């Protein structure tokens, strides 16, 4: 019997290796044990209960010799390296000890073969040499873990949220470009391995890490179900709440007797940027013909800012040369200002929702953002073929509130959304149509949401047209 013991022992050891272990596979992470209160200091209401019990069930820890796990004890750099080496080996070979075993020699410190293995695998360099007995900082723990598994095994489930929250300095504020292993720390947040210690994602990079907190990071690496999907509220960063129609207009200089097109444009911007709808001008020897010419010039100018909701003008004047232009919106009567306000509120809601749904993100180009808004307008609007000259379908309000519009309603609503995004745009028209001209990423494009919505499916032929392409479609 004694002669057979080595063989029996070998067979027993083989039984601990997964029979179907694969190379480089997340399938090698299997809960082969059942936790049954093996750690006296771990109760069901412990913060890290699910993580520590999982660490045991995955066969990555048996706790301390006194029967505890040591939830609040510091983890040494060496212990962090041992855990990391086991995880790497389990992923690569299906056996947590097979990889480090190749580097084990007599008389070594316990962590050395794991360190050598991780170095051979390219996970670590020599930066932790000589520090194995030190208490590990949270930043060091992040460094040990960040590149332990390939990117495909750790989807960046929080990427946009972390990028936005970190860039605005409202979250993870204690990690800067001067923090050791900054990018490794951010990687753990992006992949759901770390959520920080409070609602603001504070990381405490220089603090020593406890065994309980380490267990949380370790088990989130191997078990996707334990990873954290962040729920940070970033609405403050992208919300357009509080934006007014007046604030969307670059202020102009008041000119009492505008004649040139740019002078009238300056006057109209002067009025709009102050939230007004009347413009008082003065021309010597003013006639009815001259007054009508000025009205037409002013109306043509204000239509370039169709997102403001004005598309009609009335005039009162005196033979002494004083005239007052009053701008309004067709079909709105004395409710023009209420409709303008409602359109603005609706546009802000659309803007904020698209950001909240991450259909629009800070990483997108202006062209990409403009396409999202183009799609939204086309998907949420029906052309109003019954609209007459006095219909509110000529206003952005109709598109947002009723889902119907004609070309100036389409263009006004679209331009309003673009301007909430900080995109420079205007409206261009000919005798029968109006569309958008926007500067996206430094290039001028023509965009026609009305014609984009003219078929059964959205046509992107009318999105981001060059001037030549636009003239071919609707000359002006």
What does the domain layout of the chain look like in residue ranges? 2-150+209-226, 246-333, 335-473
Cα distance between residue 158 and residue 190, in whole Å:
4
Beta bridge pairs of residue 135: 76
Mean of pLDDT over the chain: 93
- Strands 322-328 and 278-282 turn out to be antiparallel
pLDDT band at 455 (very low <50, low <70, confident <90, very high): very high
The interaxial angle of helices 49-57 and 211-222, nearest 10 deg, is 60
pLDDT band at 2 (very low <50, low <70, confident <90, very high): very low
Cα distance between residue 446 and residue 465, in whole Å:
5
Nearest to 147 by CA among 186, 104, 202: 186
Are 406 and 387 in contact by the 8 Å Cβ rule? The answer is yes
Q: The domain 246-333: what is its CATH number? A: 3.30.1370
Which tens digit of pLDDT belongs to each residue from 49-87? Answer: 999 999 999 999 999 999 999 999 999 999 999 999 999
Are 445 and 466 in contact by the 8 Å Cβ rule? The answer is yes
Specify the CATH class of 335-473 in words: alpha beta
Neighbour count for residue 379 (Cβ, 10 Å): 9
Q: Could you tell me what percent of the chain has a pLDDT over 70?
A: 96
Give the predicted TM-score (pTM) of the model. 0.64
pLDDT band at 277 (very low <50, low <70, confident <90, very high): very high
Which tens digit of pLDDT belongs to each residue from 83-123? Answer: 999 999 999 999 999 999 999 999 999 999 999 999 999 99
pLDDT of residue 260: 96
Answer yes or no: is pLDDT of 459 > 50.
Answer: yes
pLDDT of residue 350: 98
pLDDT of residue 130: 95
Helix (H) or strand (E) holding 443: strand 443-447
Answer yes or no: is pLDDT of 21 > 80.
Answer: no
Domains 246-333 and 335-473 share a fold: no
Cα distance between residue 19 and residue 215, in whole Å:
26
Residue position matching structure tokens 């505008």: 258
Average pLDDT over residues 357-376: 94
What is the widest separation between alpha-carbon atoms in the chain?
A: 126
pLDDT of residue 20: 57
Lateral strand order in the sheet of 434-440: 425-429, 434-440, 443-447
Are 453 and 378 in contact by the 8 Å Cβ rule? The answer is yes
């Amino acid at each position: 019997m004694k002669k057979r013991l080595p063989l029996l022992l070998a067979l027993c050891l083989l039984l601990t290796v997964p029979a179907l272990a694969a190379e480089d596979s997340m399938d090698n992470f299997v809960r082969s044990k059942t936790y049954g209160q093996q750690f006296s200091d771990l109760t069901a209401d412990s913060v890290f209960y699910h993580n520590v019990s999982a660490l045991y069930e995955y066969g990555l820890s048996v706790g301390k010799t006194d029967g505890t796990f040591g939830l609040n004890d510091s983890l040494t750099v060496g212990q962090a390296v041992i855990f990391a080496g086991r995880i790497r080996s389990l992923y690569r070979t299906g056996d947590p000890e097979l990889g480090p075993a190749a580097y084990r020699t007599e008389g070594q410190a316990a962590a050395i073969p794991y360190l050598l293995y991780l170095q051979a695998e390219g996970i670590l360099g020599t930066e932790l040499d000589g520090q194995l007995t030190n208490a590990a900082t949270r930043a060091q723990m992040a460094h040990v873990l960040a590149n332990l598994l390939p990117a495909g095994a750790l989807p960046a489930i929080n990427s946009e949220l972390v990028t936005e929250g970190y860039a605005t300095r409202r979250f993870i504020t204690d990690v800067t470009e001067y923090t050791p292993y900054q990018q490794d720390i951010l990687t753990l947040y992006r992949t759901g391995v770390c959520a920080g210690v409070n609602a603001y994602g504070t990381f405490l990079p220089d603090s020593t890490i406890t065994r309980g907190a380490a267990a949380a990071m370790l088990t989130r690496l191997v078990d996707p179900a334990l990873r954290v999907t962040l729920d940070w509220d970033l609405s403050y960063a992208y919300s357009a709440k509080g934006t007014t129609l007046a604030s969307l207009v670059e202020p102009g200089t008041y000119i009492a007797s505008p004649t040139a097109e740019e002078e009238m444009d300056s006057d109209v911007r002067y009025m709009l940027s102050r939230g007004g709808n009347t413009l008082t001008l003065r021309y010597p020897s003013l006639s009815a013909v001259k007054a009508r010419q000025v009205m037409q010039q002013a109306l043509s100018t204000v239509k370039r800012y169709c997102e403001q909701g004005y598309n009609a003008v009335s005039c009162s004047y005196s033979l002494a040369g004083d005239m007052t232009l009053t701008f309004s919106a067709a079909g709105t009567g004395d409710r023009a200002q209420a409709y303008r306000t409602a359109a603005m509120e609706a546009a802000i809601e659309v803007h904020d929702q698209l950001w909240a749904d991450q259909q629009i993100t800070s990483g997108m180009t202006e062209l990409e953002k403009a396409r999202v808004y183009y799609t939204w307008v086309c998907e949420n609007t029906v052309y109003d073929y019954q609209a007459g000259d006095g219909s509110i379908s000529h206003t952005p309000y109709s598109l947002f509130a009723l889902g119907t519009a004609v070309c100036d309603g389409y263009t006004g609503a679209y331009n309003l959304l673009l301007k909430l995004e900080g995109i420079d745009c205007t409206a261009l028209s000919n005798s029968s149509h109006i569309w958008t001209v926007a500067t996206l990423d430094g290039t001028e494009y023509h965009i026609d949401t009305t014609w984009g919505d003219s078929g059964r499916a959205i046509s992107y032929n009318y999105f981001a047209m060059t001037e030549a392409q636009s003239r071919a479609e609707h000359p002006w």
